[in-house]
């Protein structure tokens, strides 16, 4: 069966259940669980060392699991003490360093995993993949005669040649420069959609994750913090770690007034969610840069401490009188200088707040 075959309706394509993995005595993946549905492309996102690669390797079958299970369309692939060999999982892998065979031409690299097919079928599949990955005319070249982006497309073509049920990619773009990364991320997403191949990519770059994935798992210290759409991660972060890690913004201290409003240095802010805090509880409100707007006659002012020009907007870090800081993205037509005092107000449709620990 391949990914374009319809999986059983009640079975997710991939089910990772209470997965824990150890390196020696260290628990590096801790009770992690998520389901990947038939149509989704996913990312595991998190800071260096949080366990993303170990999770991907467990799914691929290279990493033994200490507890928990991994299923593909309902079939158990990994459990404690039982594992289906990597080559029998029908998964493709693309690595950061391309891992192409240097002594084989592009065509032969792509052909590598499909030598069980007849010669004419091999040719047809290779030609199809060269077109798909926009490598027509490069088939006879060797890897060292290609750019980094082209090499990564060969690696993708090679991984897709066997029509994998799931494609696993570990930081596939990290050795490429920023512009190429962005283009290739979108291009590969289109190729996967066209081929109806599900994929999981590991990255620590959230822009890349947002551009690539329908579902993102944010990890920290071996634990899955949230498995959700990019929109929900940004607007409805499940906890403070996700709020801080995903997107820009700053936390402004305040005190609860009632279950959905807070007094802060920038006035009373009200949201559309109810919190279970008691009146006067210390809280902090997440303000995204687009929640702060310039307002000349506002009683609230911030002093420009830092600015980063970003084309259509400029990102300012503003210090408030108490020393708290907020970030604000203003149209780059307004050009404030370091040290300028800027009238501001909060204009947020909703806010995300957390109890303050200290």
Ligand X SMILES: Nc1ncnc2c1ncn2[C@@H]1O[C@H](COP(=O)(O)OP(=O)(O)OP(=O)(O)O)[C@@H](O)[C@H]1O
What are the residues binding ligand X (CB under 6 A)?
23-24, 28, 46, 48-54, 204
- Of 185, 200, 245, 181, the closest CA to residue 14 belongs to 200
Minimal distance, residue 167 CB to ligand X, in Å: 17
What is the CB neighbour count within 10 angstroms for residue 5? 10
Minimal distance, residue 169 CB to ligand X, in Å: 12
DSSP, collapsed to helix, strand or coil, labels residue 130 as helix
Query: Which residues lie closer than 8 Å to 232 by C-beta, 6 or more apart?
Result: 226
- Which is nearer to ligand X, 48 or 118 (by Cβ)? 48
Of all residues in the chain, what percent are helix, strand and coil, respectively (each to 5)?
25, 35, 40
Query: Where does residue 285 fall: left (phi above 0), alpha (psi -120 to 50 degrees), or beta otherwise?
Result: beta
- Which is nearer to ligand X, 26 or 194 (by Cβ)? 26
- Which is nearer to ligand X, 49 or 321 (by Cβ)? 49
Minimal distance, residue 40 CB to ligand X, in Å: 21
Whether residue 59 contacts residue 72, with contact meaning beta carbons closer than 8 Å, is answered with no
Minimal distance, residue 11 CB to ligand X, in Å: 27
Q: Which two tokens stand for residue 92?
A: 């493709």
- Which is nearer to ligand X, 54 or 317 (by Cβ)? 54
Minimal distance, residue 163 CB to ligand X, in Å: 27
- Which is nearer to ligand X, 28 or 216 (by Cβ)? 28
Whether residue 41 contacts residue 185, with contact meaning beta carbons closer than 8 Å, is answered with no
């Amino acid at each position: 069966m391949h990914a374009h075959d319809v999986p059983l309706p009640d079975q997710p394509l991939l089910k990772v259940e209470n997965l824990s993995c150890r390196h020696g005595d260290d628990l590096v993946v801790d009770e992690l669980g998520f389901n990947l549905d038939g149509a989704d492309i996913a990312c595991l996102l998190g800071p260096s060392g949080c366990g993303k690669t170990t999770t991907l390797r467990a799914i691929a079958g290279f990493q033994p699991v200490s507890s928990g299970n991994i299923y593909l369309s309902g079939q158990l692939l990994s459990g404690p003490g039982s594992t289906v060999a990597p080559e029998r999982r029908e998964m493709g892998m693309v690595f950061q360093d391309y891992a192409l065979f240097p002594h084989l031409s592009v065509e032969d690299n792509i052909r590598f995993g499909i030598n069980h097919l007849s010669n004419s079928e091999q040719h047809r599949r290779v030609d199809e993949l060269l077109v798909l990955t926009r490598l027509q005319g490069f088939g006879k070249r060797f890897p060292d005669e290609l750019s980094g982006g082209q090499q990564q497309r060969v690696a993708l073509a090679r991984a897709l040649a066997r029509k994998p049920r799931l494609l696993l990619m570990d930081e596939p773009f990290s050795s490429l420069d920023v512009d190429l990364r962005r283009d290739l991320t979108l291009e590969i997403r289109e190729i996967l959609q066209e081929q109806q191949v599900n994929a999981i990519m590991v990255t620590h770059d959230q822009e890349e994750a947002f551009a690539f994935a329908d579902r993102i798992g944010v990890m920290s210290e071996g634990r899955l913090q949230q498995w959700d759409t990019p929109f929900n991660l940004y607007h409805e972060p499940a906890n403070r770690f996700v709020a801080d890690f995903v997107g820009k913004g700053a936390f402004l201290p305040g005190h609860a007034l009632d279950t959905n409003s807070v007094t802060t240095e920038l006035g009373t802010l009200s949201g559309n969610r109810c919190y279970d805090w008691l009146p006067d509880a210390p809280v902090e409100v997440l303000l995204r840069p687009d929640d702060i707007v310039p307002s000349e006659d506002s009683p609230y002012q911030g002093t420009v401490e830092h600015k980063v020009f970003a084309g259509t907007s400029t990102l300012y870090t503003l210090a408030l009188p108490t020393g708290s800081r907020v970030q604000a993205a203003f149209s780059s037509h307004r050009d404030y200088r370091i040290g300028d005092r800027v009238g501001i107000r909060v204009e947020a449709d909703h806010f995300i707040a957390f109890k303050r620990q200290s």
